[in-house]
Amino acid sequence: MINIVIIGEGNVGSHLASAFRMSRAQKRDVTVDVVNARTLKNLPSDADIYLICVNDDAIASVSDSLPIVNGIVAHTSGSIGIEALGRHHRRGVFYPLQTFTKGIELDYSEIPFFIEGSDSEVCSRLCDYAKLVSDAVRLAGSSDRALLHLAAVFACNFSNFLYTIADCIIKKGDMDFKLLLPLIRQSVEKVTHIAPQLAQTGPAVRGDFKVMQKQEIMLSSNPEYQEIYRLISKCILENQTQSKENC
């Protein structure tokens, strides 16, 4: 029997709770309690693992407010070090590289989990727990985790903002964002086969300055989007002239 306590009821907490509950459906003997991070009401004292799933800024204070427990205390953040949990003897990091939105289901089994632990026994336990939900579990120290998180901000958060800009542009013609979905899906399909640098298409990589100039002018009602256009186009142009190895 594995007793898991999730502290925090936000996106990450509720998704991890469903993920562990699904593993239970697969006949693994797991209990999952979700506890409010502010009140810690009904916090079980004998769990195997306490997963702190709160905003980065709150991790240290939630950790400090927990009683001393025998179980492992871990957080789920990409950018906070293990030392934020310093009060606890058996501590670790349990970082799922994924974007969680309430109400949108996902396939947990392919989410990469990156594990760090205060000692090898903690590492090995945390890996076992992560394997309850995922087939892609590996160890990573704080510096690799920070790189992963930064890469994820570009690949996921910032891409999503570019979709927001595209949505804004296409609405000016009373057209629907959904028209762009086949294109967006194919862009992702391409980078599953070839490196993104080799998959680059568009006016900037072709050095098509006439199109770039026209498109910049189209953005003149929004100087910030225009600046993003200019900056990324410039980088794409320069990137092509660099060695593929030297990024």
Q: Could you tell me the smallest distance in angstroms from the CB atom of residue 228 to a second copy?
A: 6
Look up residue 174 and give its two tokens.
């009373």
Look up residue 153 and give its two tokens.
């901000």
**Residue 1: closest CA among 16, 34, 23:** 23
C-beta of 70 vs 151, nearer to a second copy: 151
Does residue 76 sit in helix, strand or coil? coil
Q: Token pair 């799922």 is at which residue?
A: 96
Binding segment (CB under 8 A) for a second copy, from list 1-9, 59-67, 120-128, 194-202: 194-202
Question: Is 61 one of the binding residues for a second copy (CB under 8 A)?
Answer: no
C-beta of 43 vs 60, nearer to a second copy: 60
Question: Is 142 one of the binding residues for a second copy (CB under 8 A)?
Answer: no
Binding segment (CB under 8 A) for a second copy, from list 29-37, 40-48, 84-92, 215-223: 215-223
Question: Is 38 one of the binding residues for a second copy (CB under 8 A)?
Answer: no
Q: Which secondary-structure segment (H or E) carries 215?
A: helix 209-218
- Sheet strands (E) in the chain: 2-7, 30-35, 49-52, 72-75, 91-96, 112-117, 136-139
- Which 146-165 residues touch a second copy, going by CB under 8 A? 146-165
Question: Is 238 one of the binding residues for a second copy (CB under 8 A)?
Answer: yes
Among 42, 45, 56, 119, contact with a second copy (rule: CB under 8 A): 56
Q: Which residues pair with 116 in a beta bridge?
A: 93
Among 57, 67, 120, 220, contact with a second copy (rule: CB under 8 A): 57
Look up residue 182 and give its two tokens.
């086949």
Q: Could you tell me the smallest distance in angstroms from the CB atom of residue 141 to a second copy?
A: 9
Cα Rg of the chain (Å, integer): 22
Question: Is 213 one of the binding residues for a second copy (CB under 8 A)?
Answer: no
Binding segment (CB under 8 A) for a second copy, from list 27-35, 62-70, 107-115, 120-128: 107-115
Count of beta carbons in the 10 Å neighbourhood of residue 77: 21
DSSP 111-134: -EEEEEESSHHHHHHHHHHHHTT-
Among 14, 18, 65, 187, contact with a second copy (rule: CB under 8 A): 187
Q: How far is CA 129 from CA 71, 112, 132, in A?
A: 13, 13, 5
x/- contact string, 62-101, with a second copy (CB under 8 A)? -----------------x-----------------xxxxx
Q: Which residues pair with 95 in a beta bridge?
A: 114
Q: Could you tell me the smallest distance in angstroms from the CB atom of residue 19 to a second copy?
A: 13
Binding segment (CB under 8 A) for a second copy, from list 38-46, 64-72, 123-131, 210-218: 210-218
